[in-house]
Amino acid sequence: MAEFGRAALLLTFGLAAYALVGGGYAAWRGRRRLAHSARNALIASFFSTLVAALVLVAGFLRDDFSLAYVAGHSSRALPTPYKLSAFWGGQEGSLLLWLLVLTGYSALAVWLARKRARDLVVWVTPVLAGIALGFTWLLVAVSSPFDVIAAPADGSGLNPSLQNPYMVVHPVALYLGYVGLAVPFAFAMGALLSGRTDERWIVATRRWTIVAWTALGIGQLLGAHWAYVEVGWGGYYAWDPVENAALMPWLAATAFLHSVMIQEKRGMLRVWNVTLVSLAFCLSLFGTFLTRSGVVTSIHSFTKSSIGPWFLGFIVVAVVFAVGMIWLRLPQLRTTAKLESLVSREAAFLYNNLLLVALCLTILWGTAWPMVSEAVRGETMVVGRPYFDFFLRIFGLPLLLLMGIGPLVAWRRASLRGLTRTFAWPAAVALATGVVLIALGAGSSTPGLVAYTFSAFVLATIVHEFARGTSARRALTGEPVPTAFGRLIGRNRRRYGGYVVHASIVLLAIGIAGSSAYDSVTEGRLTRGQSLSVGGYTLTYRSLGEREAANATEVRALLDVRRGGKDLGTIQAGKNAYSVEQQVSNEVGIRTDYLTGEDLFVIAEQVDDNGAVFFRIFVKPLVNLIWLAGLVFLLGSVITLWPDAREERRLATREARAGARSDTPATT
């Protein structure tokens, strides 16, 4: 079976090489049949990669420990869902997942754009093939998932922290995001290679960018929830290098999604947009490098390996290629449109871009600092949480405020008097919120208070926008409120979907501010019958139990929970000892108050032989708004992504009028 997997990967390698060389030559010399053949090769590479992936899945499901990768990441006792997620539990499988998603995206992207942007696709094909070739090379020559060994009686099992339902979906979502950024990058490079620097590459990739950005955002939130419930340290984001590695391309893509609107509306920022999309893609490669190379210490770096230099070389090639192409096409990318006023929507989007990129680059500096310091000084120095928290506040809070201001300022220029009128109501709501919060004692944390006040301002602008838009539509059409509201969104999905996404970011900000600036914590060693109090809760340690599960011994401490004299039931926290993996994991207890969004979070840090347990207990106000933000974010993204038939017709008409004609039967 391993031979079949290896052969499938070799086929992918051959197809990618053919699509790169043949496709590049066809685009350069204008060879139609060769271009289509290269496009078919890129599409076929998805199917050969899929075969390789299925072979590996079969290896896991059949407990085929003659495959070294399966033996190293699974065991007979491992539950079936985790046998499937063990696919991406190690380096080789992760790279194969990267390649599978990349070839899948590539096949779909070139197929869907074959008519609308056919002269771009001929250049996009070799770019995507080049990326696929790099990853296939790693899988074929450096780190193969199909290496065979003399089969042991049982495998070594899967890292216990990966034995969590979130690990079935979190890495996949994250990879859908990372890899998805390859598509807008390839179209941007295709536009530069072909000299077609008009806005068609943006139109062709707008949805791809949003899909990748959404997946990356959801993937990060799933990862945060995994860290919260599984890693057991009491938080959800630790500025871990690998967490940062996913955040950075997301920030760059967020900046791109905003700045691209300026190009669409005003024809400005063409150089900036291709730079941003290249930055986002290169950061996604950097993220994979950080996760898989083992150059930084991270809870996510499950393996150390030799692919680091290869990956670094790959990133250097991508950066040099992107910079070279932008430099080469600078004259065509220049535009005559200028920023007319510093008080305008395009100026607000520009400020938003500068803040996002500044935040992204400061995170990059903090993340890369251990590597830089080791290279320069010979010793690894790490910047801690205060560094990242400081820059998050410095750049994040103005960004939050801009989210409310930007969409309501007129394009080109706006008067201060007009702005005062537009923002009077939201500003009053924000001010009132701030006063009430101070009265309630929220002034104990200035950043928290500012975050809440700004959040109130943004939410007020969003609610006002929906109300005003619905009212204007009703006045125009006489429709009832629900119809006017529904059609308002339906007729302008990008705008109102964007507002919903903004609302999700506000929820996220409130959740983060509440759970980090206003949380409470206590700790102590308890024997049976003793109690600890924190944040109005009193927890009494009642008993300790032990049971044998399929692949672990589970120890659980049971605690009674009371608040204000009211019995709230019990909560359990403890540890799992995994016999095959010879590892122990924290299994935290969480009690959620769905009305207030608050969590009571219990960690059993240490269980003594005499039955005493050292507990750490947190009360995290509003933390559940973070997870709710994920659902709202997804809803906003879906609204934005939903196809707009009128826009499709307009673009098709423009293409037809410009004289672009079919040069081939579409089915080849």
Partner 1 sequence: MSLWILLAAALAVAIVVVVALPFLREPAPVSDTLHELDPAERRLLEAEEARDRALAALQELEADHRAKRISDEDYRAVVGSLRRDAAEALRALDRLGRGGTSDAEAKID
Task: Give the residues lining the site for partner 1 (CB under 8 A).
Answer: 1, 3-4, 7-8, 11, 15, 18, 26-27, 30-37, 40-41, 43-44, 47-48, 51, 118-119, 122, 196, 198-199, 264-267, 408, 410-415, 417-418, 421-422, 465, 468-469, 471-472, 476, 650, 654, 657-661, 663-665, 668
Radius of gyration from C-alpha coordinates of the chain: 27
Give the residue with the Cβ less far from partner 1, 337 or 361: 337
8-state DSSP, 581: T
CB 431 within 8 A of CB 486: no
DSSP 550: S
CB of 655 to partner 1, least distance (A): 8
Residue from 259, 237, 29, 225 nearest 123 by CA:
29
Closest distance between partner 1 and the C-beta of residue 458, in Å? Answer: 16
Minimum Å distance from CB 89 to partner 1?
A: 25
Residue closer to partner 1 (CB basis): 59 or 370? 59
How far is CA 251 from its chain centroid? 9
Nearer to partner 1, 198 or 374 (CB): 198
Helix (H, G, I), strand (E, B) or coil at 164: coil
Residue type at position 247? L
DSSP string, 346-379: HHHHHHHHHHHHHHHHHHHHHHHHHHHHHHHHSS
Cβ distance to partner 1 smaller for residue 408 or 532: 408
| CB 201, min distance to partner 1, A | 12
Least Cβ distance, residue 495 to partner 1 (angstroms): 9
List Cβ neighbours of 182 (8 Å cut-off, separation of 6 or more). Answer: 102, 105, 106, 128, 131, 281, 284
Cβ at position 396, least distance to partner 1 in Å: 26
Nearest approach, Cβ of residue 197 and partner 1 (Å): 10
SS3 646: helix
Q: How far apart are CA 370 and CA 296, in angstroms?
A: 7
Q: Could you tell me the smallest distance in angstroms from the CB atom of residue 646 to partner 1?
A: 11
For partner 1, which is the closer residue by CB, 197 or 516?
197
Helices 182-194 and 308-328, packing angle to 10 deg: 40
Residue from 490, 510, 530 nearest 442 by CA: 510
- Residue 347, token pair as written in the block: 């100026």
In the complex, minimum distance from the CB of residue 639 to partner 1, in angstroms, rounded to a whole number: 18
* Total Cβ atoms within 10 A of residue 27: 24
The dihedral through the CA atoms of 589, 591, 597, 601 has a sign that is negative
- Cα separation, 46 vs 106, in Å, equals 8
**Coil, helix or strand for 335?**
coil
Contact 9, 140 (CB under 8 A): yes
Tell me how far, at minimum, the Cβ of 265 lies from partner 1, in Å.
6
Query: For residues 186 and 117, is the Cβ–Cβ distance under 8 A?
Result: no
Q: To the nearest whole angstrom, how small is the minimum distance from the Cβ of residue 42 to partner 1?
A: 10
Closest separation in Å from C-beta 186 to partner 1: 18
Question: For residues 431 and 666, which CB has a smaller minimum distance to partner 1 in the complex?
Answer: 666
Query: Based on CB atoms, which residue is closest to partner 1, 38 or 600?
Result: 38
**Distant-in-sequence contacts of 478-485, Cβ < 8 A, 24+ apart:** none
Residues in the chain: 668
With respect to partner 1, which residue has the nearer C-beta, 225 or 413? Answer: 413
| 18 vs 541 by CB, closer to partner 1 | 18
| Residue with smaller CB distance to partner 1, 323 or 656 | 656
Least distance between partner 1 and beta carbon 97 (Å): 20
Nearer to partner 1, 17 or 613 (CB): 17
Q: State which residue, 648 or 663, has the beta carbon closest to partner 1.
A: 663
Residue 119 or 593: the one with the smaller Cβ distance to partner 1 is 119
Least separation in angstroms between residue 493's CB and partner 1 is 14
Which of 560, 566, 570, 568 lies closest to 539, judged by CA?
560
Q: Which two tokens stand for residue 181?
A: 């950024």
**Residue 533 is inside which H or E element, if any?**
strand 531-534
> Nearer Cβ to partner 1, position 566 or 657?
657
**Six-digit token string for 65:** 């420990």
| Distance of closest approach, residue 35 Cβ to partner 1, in angstroms | 6
Within a 10 A sphere around the Cβ of 231, how many other Cβ atoms? 18
Min dist CB 643 to partner 1, Å, is 18
HEC string of 32-101?
A: HHHHHHHHHHHHHHHHHHHHHHHHHHHHHHCCCCCEHHHHHHCCCCCCHHHHHHHHHCCHHHHHHHHHHH
Separation of alpha carbons 301 and 94, rounded Å: 12
249-263 per-residue burial string, b: 16 or more CB within 10 A, e: under 16:
bbbbbbbbbbbbbbb
Task: Write down the least CB distance from residue 210 to partner 1, Å.
Answer: 19
- What CA–CA distance (Å, rounded) separates 316 from 319? 5
Buried b (16+ CB within 10 A) or exposed e, 614-625: ebbbbbbbbbbb
By C-beta, is 264 or 389 nearer to partner 1? 264
Q: Which is nearer to partner 1, 283 or 409 (CB)?
A: 409
Q: Which is nearer to partner 1, 386 or 659 (CB)?
A: 659
Exposed, middle or buried: residue 464 (CB in 10 Å: 0-12, 13-18, 19+)? middle
